[in-house]
Amino acid sequence: MMKNQSQWKTSTGFILASAGSAIGLGAMWKFPYMAGVYGGGAFLLLFLIFTLLVGLPLLIMEFTVGKMGRTYTTKIYEKLTARKWLNIIGWNGNLAVFILFAFYSVIGGWIIIYLFKVLMQLVTFNDSALSKINFDQIITNPWLTIVGQGIFILLTMIIVMLGVEQGLEKASKFMMPLLFICLIIIVIKSLSLDGAMAGVRYILEPRLDDISVKGILFALGQSFFTLSLGTTGMITYASYASKEMTIKTSAISIVIMNILVSVLAGLAIFPAISAFGYKPTEGPGLLFKVLPSVFEQMSFGTLSYFVFLILFLFAALTSSISLLELNVSNFTKNDNTKRKKVAVIGSILVFLLSIPATLSFGSLSHIQFGVGSIFDNMDFLVSNILMPLGALGTTLVVGHLLKIEELKAHFGRDKFKLFIPWYLLIKFVLPVVIVVIFIVQFI
Ligand code: PFF
């Protein structure tokens, strides 16, 4: 370990970590629930367009900035542009991940509670009662949910305290492929259910009438969320990476994996929704309500569900780690001797903020404002305001303040002549797209 700055041992370490940050609850939990509310196939189409035309160039941008700046993100903007006030983009990211971690841990907590419930059924050989796990009862139980999210935050904290490279690099090499395999098995089972085709059509057929302004906004927010954009989290990971990291290949593979996992999650959930008569508009509980019914149809269903939940938890943790890691890297200024203290303090603060988020499913559910509950508003504030703002700030810095030759040098080998189109997108097109969509949501 380097004294002042954690560094990946290999460039695969960097790819695994940033893929780990990207692939998490966003693709598996949030995508199906958003698609269910905002038009199924129409939402998928918008999400694909935004992910490829907006998300991918922005991810390449964040990696380039990290590789150029090589420091923590509340300093990197000053280092690159000699303008101290631009560090505000880093602070915006810090605030975003702080709030994000708080509501993210609510869902992480649900996974942990389900894990325990399923484990209890496993040890009592109660193989057919998965769908008896009562979701509504769980999320309205304040103590249970607070303990669940506390455990989730604690696990994240412990891993971050151990330091970047030891953390997860090794584990994700086999956990991620296993998660893919597990998802494919669920999809196959789901597709074989009677009545599955209606759900397949719902998620794959883009009915253009279903496109709404809200759908467009939330699809863009979803692309930011799943690719961890605009928080500067990806800049942080790229700043840790070795010099030989390949920016474009890494970004493209992360985007492809993310799309794949999102589509697989959709194909796991929607056929089961139509087969079992659930509503696609269930909201945040969708995945937790639907999947037990699918596993119940499998032989060794309880055991398989348990394995799935472990992999799901792992994917959520590799993302939450990047959330806490960003705060740790900024508040320790990459001085590893302060890592433990900052990780503990940050986690306690996140835990406190996560309590109103979890209670908004129970005793605080009557508090409705803005886009809905406290939880909904936290998500909206992060995915639709702070993340786009952060990304906008970085596009302006990259497009208008950094030297094009230097960017080109860090962009790497350019066999397909992608640099100029990418640069023009970042300089002229994407800031306008983000601003327009940003303004539309307030009209
Ligand atoms: N991309 C993560 C997910 O989809 O679960 C969430 C996330 C992680 C967002 C890290 C932002 C971030 F900086």
First to last CA, the chain: 50
What is the count of structural domains for the chain? 1
Q: How far is the CA of 18 from the centre of ligand 1 (A)?
A: 10
Inside any domain, residue 2 = no
Residue 376 forms part of a structural domain: yes
* Per-residue pLDDT, 365: 96
pLDDT per residue as tens digits for the range 221-266:
999 999 999 999 999 989 988 777 789 999 999 999 999 999 999 9
Decide: 251 in ligand 1 pocket, CB within 6 A: no
| Residues 58, 42: Cα–Cα separation, whole Å | 23
Q: What residues make up the domain containing 204?
A: 11-442
21 lines ligand 1 (CB under 6 A): yes
Query: Measured in angstroms, how far is the CA atom of residue 50 from the centroid of ligand 1?
Result: 16
Q: Is 94 in the pocket of ligand 1 (CB under 6 A)?
A: no
* pLDDT on residue 2: 36
For ligand 1, mutation pick of 314, 322, 350, 389 (most atoms within 8 Å of CB): 322
Phi-psi region of 70 (alpha: psi -120 to 50; beta: other; left: phi over 0): left
Q: What is the pLDDT of residue 126?
A: 73
Quick check: is 4 in a domain? Answer: no
Q: Is 1 domain-assigned?
A: no
CB of 25 sitting under 6 A from ligand 1 = yes
Cα–ligand 1 centroid distance for 97 (angstroms) = 8
Give the span between the Cα atoms of 403 and 318, in whole angstroms: 34
- Could you tell me if residue 110 is inside a domain? yes
Question: CA-CA distance, 104 to 357, in Å (whole number)?
Answer: 9
> In 3-state terms, what secondary structure has residue 416?
coil
- Residue type for position 11: S
What spacing in Å lies between the alpha carbon of 195 and ligand 1's midpoint?
34
Task: Dig out the tokens for 284 from the structure.
Answer: 């945040």
CA of 226 to the centre of ligand 1 (A): 6
Cβ count within 10 A of residue 74: 22
What pLDDT, on a 0 to 100 scale, did the predictor assign at position 7? 64
Phi, psi angles (nearest 5°) of residue 369: -155, 175
pLDDT at position 4 is 41
Spans of the chain below 50 pLDDT = 1-4, 165
Question: Ligand 1 centre from 319 Cα, in Å?
Answer: 5
pTM of the model: 0.95
**Ligand 1 test: best mutation among 225, 287, 383, most atoms within 8 Å of CB?**
225
**pLDDT at 128 (0 to 100):** 65
Check if 322 has its Cβ closer than 6 Å to any atom of ligand 1: yes
Distance of CA 352 from the midpoint of ligand 1 (Å): 20
In a domain, 3, yes or no: no
- Per-residue pLDDT at 346: 97
Count Cα atoms within 13 angstroms, Cβ side, for 63.
30
Is the C-beta atom of 226 inside 6 A of ligand 1? yes
Does a structural domain hold residue 6? Answer: no
**Cα dist from 37 to 33, 211, 270, 369, 423, whole Å:** 6, 11, 12, 19, 35
Instruction: Please indicate, yes or no, if residue 5 is contained in any of the structural domains.
Output: no
CATH code for the domain in which residue 270 is found: 1.20.1740.10
Closest CA to 24 of 317, 256, 235: 317
Token reading at 112: 């942990």
Query: Can you tell me whether residue 192 is helix, strand or coil?
Result: coil
Burial class (CB in 10 A: 0-12, 13-18, 19+), 78: middle
Cα 237 to averaged position of ligand 1 atoms, centre (Å): 13
Measured between alpha carbons, how far is 363 from 203 in angstroms, rounded to an integer?
Answer: 33
